[in-house]
Amino acid sequence: DTAVSQTPKYLVTQMGNDKSIKCEQNLGHDTMYWYKQDSKKFLKIMFSYNNKELIINETVPNRFSPKSPDKAHLNLHINSLELGDSAVYFCASTQGRAGNTIYFGEGSWLTVV
């Protein structure tokens, strides 16, 4: 069973469209994240949720809106997609205490054309 699963794995869409990426974890963790990996492989946190509450919101455009319907799910909705949004988006989860292992999904490859 996949611990952190995200869908879709690949997404090609046009500029201006709205798209969502879904994430689910079956590890019973209370904290979930979205990370963005750019074309240079640099990984940066976008959001963190603990027990469905937003606790980290890095400098991310308002077009990105995370939603956590329950502890096991953290979805990412992106409005008005731009070319620069092309990246790999990783969902991750952990039991929210510093030093605990963070488990990553396999990534969602978003290409905006």
Of 110, 37, 14, 27, whose CA–CA distance to 74 is shortest?
A: 27
Do 24 and 73 touch, CB atoms closer than 8 A? yes
| 59 binding another protein? (CB under 8 A) | no
| Residue 84 C-beta: closest distance to another protein, Å | 19
| 51 binding another protein? (CB under 8 A) | no
User: Which positions ≥6 away from 97 have C-beta within 8 Å?
Assistant: none
**Looking at 39, 83, 98, 113, which residue binds another protein (CB under 8 A)?**
98
3-state secondary structure of 84: helix
| 66 binding another protein? (CB under 8 A) | no
Stretch binding another protein (CB under 8 A), from 15-23, 40-48, 64-72, 75-83:
40-48
| 43 binding another protein? (CB under 8 A) | yes
Stretch binding another protein (CB under 8 A), from 18-26, 61-69, 76-84, 98-106:
98-106
